Amino acid sequence: MTPAARLLSALELIREIEGAARPADAVVSAFFRGRRDLWDGDRAEISDLVYAVLRTHARVGWWLAKYERPETPRSRLLAWLALGRVRTPDQIQTLFSGADDAPAPLTEVERRLLARLQGGSLDHPDMPEAVRTECPEWALEPLRRRFGEAFADEMAAMLTPAPLDLRVNPLRATRDEVLRALKKLGLVAEPTRMAPQGIRLRVRPALSRLPMLKTGEAEIQDEGSQLVALLVGAQAGERVVDFCAGAGGKTLAIATQMSNKGVVIACDVSENRLKRAAERFRGAGLHNIQTRLLSSERDKWVKRHKGGFDRVLVDAPCSGTGTWRRNPDARWRAEDIGLEGLLTLQAGILDSAARLVRPGGRLVYATCSLLPEENEAQVAAFLAAHADFHVTPLSEVAPQVTDSVHPDYLSLTPARHDTDGFFAAVMQRDAAPAAVD
């Protein structure tokens, strides 16, 4: 493809992301699945262009507002080319020629905008901190409190590309076998530092180049997410619930821990998510997973199965602040119910799911959030209301994680661990009192 054609595809993809309810990474994957004729280099360049524009949303928006220009996918792309890629108006005009494989020609208004932006940079001393750090206003103070002196470093880390992590399915391959297969493909890969079945690729290849994804030998899963599933500690023959299964990534990891023995119930309130997850389960060759559609966290199924499971994972819906590096568009997709609504929902889900845990069983509460309100505070409130649960320290369940931000909980951040931001607390339910003769 020519540089102009790549710009045209990038512009189309940015428009699709803006109009979609799904996260950017899902939209990008679907976009490239429909264009299998693209070369790897074209895919990489288009993807890099798109994510660069998404990561500069607030700063580019500030410049457009400064010169009273509307924010559109096209205006943001033009401004990023001028400020981020430092192209002159003449260079940009050459690319926007209006040919069949190029974006439409520049308008007079667009040429004037580019002339004003020439010589500038993405950052400007007059930008508010929220704009400069690409942080939505609602999250600025909570994240400042969360990180303290590390705030600037953590926000900068969230503006860098996320690595591609794989989780090996031990039922079909070993990590060493997959590493050797990746090496034969000419890809640089290494074992993840903390997750025992994880592999990290520093350069993201076209996923079509990874046959292990098609054979079920590996799944795409961030190292942090792998560690959350590991904390469940599921054993062969046990009964386990993934209460908010979503796309099923953690469910898959849990089921493989159990060597396809016992049963894992993947629950969710979305029928479409469960259907997509079920396809992944079949592709991985796992037969110990069942799906259960819930009407809400208080579904009657929960009451009927009270105390019936050895382990329960609650991967609660959250603000998603820990995923901003992977899905920069998520910063600007605020949940309709807001943070306070999310906190109420999380507490209700945790309270209801805890009923499923048998005496002596394990409950894991997790989020992909960096906000204490959604993490430590939720666990503290739950424990205060449920005297029969107590925390199991991280050192007992995952001793390989030695640098968690919190001593007792799994607490990962992009700058400190080079993973998505994750939180998980492991809680044990007290065993039933011994019967007295």
Catalytic residue set? 368
3-state secondary structure (DSSP) of residue 429: strand
188's tokens: 């640089």
> What spatial distance separates the first Cα and last Cα of the chain, rounded to whole Å?
81
Cβ contacts of 108 within 8 Å, gap of 6 or more:
none
Please calculate the CA angle 384-385-391 and round it to the nearest 5 degrees: 55
3-state secondary structure (DSSP) of residue 401: coil
Given a contact cutoff of 8 angstroms between Cβ atoms, the answer to whether 374 and 317 are in contact is no
CA distance 157 to 138: 19
Could you give the residue ranges of the DSSP H alpha helices within 386-424? 394-397, 414-417
CA distance 274 to 251: 11
Name the one residue in this structure whose structure tokens are 């001793």.
399
CB-count burial class (<10 Å; 0-12, 13-18, 19+) for 280: middle
Tally helices (H) and strands (E) across the chain: 20, 12
